[in-house]
Copies of this chain bind each other. A is one copy, B any other.
Amino acid sequence: ARPNCSVGTPRVINAEKSEFNEDQAACCQISIRRREPGLEEDEEWLILCSTQFLTGYYWALFDGHGGPEAAIIASNYLHYCIKQKLEEVVGGITEARPPMHLSGRCVCDSDPQFVEEKHIHAEDLVVGALENAFQECDEVIGQEMEATKQTGGCTALAALYFQGKLYVANAGDSRAILVLKDSVVPMSCEFTPETERQRIQHLAFLFPKLLDGEFTRFEFPRRLKGDDVGQKVLYRDYFMEGWGYKTVEKADLKYPLVHGHGKQARLLGTLAVSRGLGDHQLKVIDTNIEVKPFLSCIPKVNVFDSALHDVQEDDVLIMATDGLWDVLCNKEVAHTVRSFLADNRTDPHRFSELAKCLVCRARGKKRGHQWMLDESREASYDDISVFVIPLHKREED
């Protein structure tokens, strides 16, 4: 177990089942400099006198592939990108009369009605900052990897607690859920070649050259073989959620752009995720086909407003890489969380012990040559990283 954490109660636990762990975790406080409104760049001395800070709390998990390098760079940079992007919009969050229009106030006297209709709130600026920060971080990773001739990529799942709200930004197949007293709230969804099939196929439809004649953009329920030519088979194109029949042509025998199901699904036969950071140099093996155009570094951001909920002492945010979720469903995790916290009410380290407990459950027990979850289910062979983040404010301690 590797506690890798700089503030507060959360602890990150890593199973270290393999020697080559590609998961990375980061956790820190983010101080956002708030400038006195109306000051110009050249009044720097005034800014120094009047600087105030807003505080955010940040946790993130990165699951690397093709080596841990991208995950390491992301864990070193993403919080800085978020800080920077939040500072760019902090005026809109804190000023009484922010640029343009926020929280019902409007500075566009000529046309007040129109901007009011957009209902833009401080929350939307934080979401925008996170979206921009992921893109910025992806660029930084691209530069760093090129300069050091390293390769690889990583998923990114980041949580930010800021101004009473919890923001969860996800690009990849890690997952965050809130385990509350009476409910489980998903705070992310997974981005894989399967969940993003239509986006990926559509890009290949718009730019067929990206496939260099080596792949077919159609989806088939199984790999086609030579003797399927002339037969009717099920297929889907980019615009279809349903299925149709087509008569197999020779071109359909090419390897499919998106192929396989569940954990076996692959983009260009290469990657198991469709969003994340890095992979700028990644090519399909033995070809000149680039994978990056089909990847997205943009996260989907979910927001939880703790002011709207009566947060309880045992309410927690669980963040984990796919190593946990591959073998345990939300319900099983929620059950473990609730029973563990109820049984260990007085332990001052119970949240980090819970993270350890979740990792150990997914890691399983060795029986002969196999790691098993229980009598019948195989345990996770992947890296497993878990954050347990209590939502309730602790008494001053």
Is the Cβ of A231 less than 8 Å from the Cβ of B99?
yes
Report yes or no: A244 in contact with B120, Cβ–Cβ below 8 A: no
CA distance A91 to B231 in the complex (A): 13
Q: Are A221 and B129 within 8 A (Cβ)?
A: no
Interface presence of A240 (CB below 8 A): yes
Whether A242 contacts B118 in the complex (CB less than 8 A), given A100-B221, A100-B233, A233-B100, comes out as no
Of B125, B135, B239, B242, the residue contacting A129 (CB under 8 A) is B242
Docked complex Cα distance between A131 and B221 (Å) = 19
Please measure, in the bound complex, the distance between the C-alpha atom of A88 and the C-alpha atom of B233, giving whole angstroms: 12
A129 to chain B, nearest CB (A): 7
Tell me whether B244 and A88 are in contact (CB under 8 A). yes
- A130, CB-defined interface residue at 8 Å: yes
A295 within 8 A of partner (CB): no
Which residues of A, 110-152, contact B by the 8 Å Cβ criterion?
111, 114-115, 117-118, 120, 123-132, 135
Contact A99 B233 (CB under 8 A): yes
Instruction: Quickly give the copy total for this chain.
Output: 2
CA separation between A30 and B174, bound complex, in Å?
46
Q: Which residue of B lies closest to A99 (CB)?
A: B232
- Determine whether A54 belongs to the interface, using a CB cutoff of 8 Å to chain B: no
The yes or no answer to A101 lying at the interface (CB within 8 A) is: yes
B118 touches A221 (CB 8 A): yes
> Do A131 and B240 touch across chains, with their CB atoms under 8 A apart?
yes
For the complex, give the distance between the alpha carbons of A233 and B107 in Å.
11
- Asked if A222 contacts B115 (CB within 8 A), the reply is yes
Inter-chain CA distance A106–B196, complex, in Å, is 26
Show 22 residue pairs from A and B whose CB-CB distance is below 8 angstroms, ordered by the A residue: A91-B232, A92-B245, A100-B222, A100-B232, A101-B234, A111-B223, A114-B221, A117-B262, A120-B221, A120-B234, A123-B242, A124-B242, A124-B243, A125-B242, A125-B243, A125-B244, A128-B243, A128-B244, A131-B239, A131-B240, A131-B241, A131-B242
